[in-house]
Amino acid sequence: MSGVKLTSQTTDQIPFCVPSKDELLAAGVQFGHQVQRWNPKMKDYILGVKNGIHIIDVEKTLESLSNAVNFLMSNQSESPVLFVATKRQARSIVRDLAVQSGSYFVDRRWVGGLFTNFSVIKKSLEKLEYLERVFMEGVTDRTKFEVNLMKKKWDRLSSLYGGIKTMRVRPSAIVILDVCYEKSALVEARKVGITTVAVVDTNADPEGIDYPIFANDDAISSIKIILDTLAKAAMNNRNTVKVVHNFPTFDTIMRLESSNLAQLSDDNGLMAQEYEMSSEKGEQDSQSVQKVVRRRLRVARKSTNQIESSKGILGKYQAQKEKDKNN
């Protein structure tokens, strides 16, 4: 991305260019909200009014974005950055950029107490990791009812904590797209002393934000150019530990369970041959051997039936998830 480099005092710290003024204008970062919805504390960052809509001063946007990039690049903490954007039009954007930059993200709903009650939230994160590990290993020793409950819980926890499931300490900073929409996240970050970087539109209050970025927080093009710049800054910080995300899907589990099913079928055949061979050799009098073989056969057949029934549940969940995604 070509553009104007930062001021001389920050050029040595930031090796890449922030968007130019023309690129910001082309993305529509200057368009604010309607005049009647404005926050008076934003008057110093508003250039004027056009067609009943406040126009943000792009020079202020460029300056504030440069300051935010400077902080994310020079942050000395090893803890990754957390991106928060739960608006529908920003979910896929923040998810992709956070994965690329090795950062945490929240794209569905902010869970109350994520910062202020992190010790309790961490138990939910550990539960999510446990469920994923169980599903990867196979659910052959559980009933159909148990598998159904586990998948419902996994689906709920994954939607809430999928982007932060490996987080064991609070992040070093939080990047918020809309401070009005993500008010709870901003309040919690202030309370625990986490540095805040936030996109502030004309209807928001910039006070109390460590690094406000004055820009349009609704247009997709504006969201992309701002978050992309911040994600690159976080990615180029060598002090921060990068997060490696892993998002197992129902398709992955179905393939694993299918392989488990094939393995169990092979085991059934081997155990049946073992029982027949023991009979041919005249070992019928050994009651202990026959009991063990019969018990193993019963367990294997029961597990096979459970996997076959659970595949129907998996297919139903996959179809519902695709339907929700399309909506």
Q: pLDDT tens digits, residue range 132-169? A: 888 777 766 777 788 888 888 888 898 899 899 989 88
Q: What is the mean pLDDT of residues 57-77?
A: 91
Q: What is the mean pLDDT of residues 215-225?
A: 94
Look over the chain and give the mean of its residue pLDDT values, rounded to a whole number.
79
User: HEC profile for the chain?
Assistant: CCCCCCCHHHHCCCCCCCCCHHHHHHHCCCEEEEHHHCCHHHHHHEEEEECCEEEECHHHHHHHHHHHHHHHHHCCCCCCEEEECCCHHHHHHHHHHHHHHCCEEECCCCCCCCCCCHHHHHHHHHHHHHHHHHHHHCCCCCCHHHHHHHHHHHHHHHHHHCCCCCCCCCCCEEEECCCCCCHHHHHHHHHHCCEEEEEECCCCCCCCCCEEEECCCCCHHHHHHHHHHHHHHHHCCCCCCCCCCCCCCHHHHHHHHHHHHHHHHHHHHHHHHHHHHHHHCCCCCCHHHHHHHHHHHHHHHHHHHHHHHHHHHHHHHHHHHHHHHHC
8-115+170-235 carries CATH number 3.40.50.10490: yes
Residue 46 near residue 102 (C-beta atoms within 8 A): no
Closest residue by Cα to residue 175 from 243, 69, 81: 81
pLDDT bucket at 77, cuts 50 / 70 / 90: confident
Q: pLDDT tens digits, residue range 253-287? A: 555 555 554 554 455 455 555 545 544 444 444 55
Q: Measured between alpha carbons, how far is 84 from 115 in angstroms, rounded to an integer? A: 13
Residue 227 near residue 94 (C-beta atoms within 8 A): yes
